[in-house]
Structure 1
């Protein structure tokens, strides 16, 4: 009995000593190298400065099925306070990602004529202004385009499986 209690006490003391040493140990790195909360990038929830997905010009062309999966991922999302800017930018980005994939696909752009035409029509209405205010103004058209392309793609399962 004495031996078990002593052994338990020793283990407890060792564990506490280990934790206290690890918490008080100071790294030899320059304190300026340690990131602070203020230095970490933050996700903007402001509708005037939405967090945006990568720009289309820097993203490599993907397969249609991968780009369509990205677009489908937006189907259960909506424009909610604090997320609307991100959501609208993401739908816009995913539509153009799919557009690039369709145009680069081996089947050729003529196979995807309807979705490509819908995106061109959207671009005519939205223009080159990808700001939150402009996308919010054209939100109905943006979402309708997404939904129409989703329906078209559902009728062409060979293109995304």
Structure 2
């Protein structure tokens, strides 16, 4: 009680005592915030105060608890959660598809595995980007319909012989989408 009385009388406490109290308040506030975020049973009763605690300790604890509640009720900034990676922008996906325009292969000659796999992958990524675009999939109605037709033909089989079997459909879809995009420069420039 002597410390509280001297503080009320205007006598300053030593700096170390103020530092200890500030540390204690900060630790209590952190503990209060941590306990608020932990899962606890709703019907759990609070622990009773120890009857052997000294009255001065109870008064200090009440002050600290009040300060901790006040600190906890102050708004704090929520840490920014990392955003999930967004699908590529249509412009970027189209650019990588365009990079395949001058490439080709000869089905059955053994040089189509990389080329057809790459074009199919680029079409898949463009499809995802168009569906996620803020303009909405309705804006990309024709290319999305063309890719859906192709993906239906291909199914889940991405083996080289299967892709070579659908060579004309894969290259035709790529070229058709290129033509459509050239008529819609706002989407790729």
Specify the TM-score bucket, using the shorter chain as the normaliser: 0.5 to 0.7
Q: Which moved more, 1:96-105 or 1:123-132?
A: 123-132
Deviation at 1:126, TM superposition (A): 1.2
Q: Which moved more, 1:123-132 or 1:113-122?
A: 123-132
Rg: which structure is higher? 2
Partner of 2:121: 93
> Runs (4+) of structure 1 moved beyond 2 Å?
80-83
Matched, 1:65 2:91: yes
Deviation at 1:127, TM superposition (A): 1.1
Equivalent of 1:147, from 175, 180, 188?
175
C-alpha separation in 2, matches of 1:111 and 1:64: 12
Residues paired across the two proteins, number: 103
Instruction: Give structure 2 stretches of 5+ with no counterpart.
Output: 1-84
Equivalent of 1:105, from 116, 121, 133?
133
C-alpha separation in 1, matches of 2:124 and 2:158: 12
C-alpha separation in 2, matches of 1:135 and 1:77: 15
RMSD of the alignment, in Å? 1.4
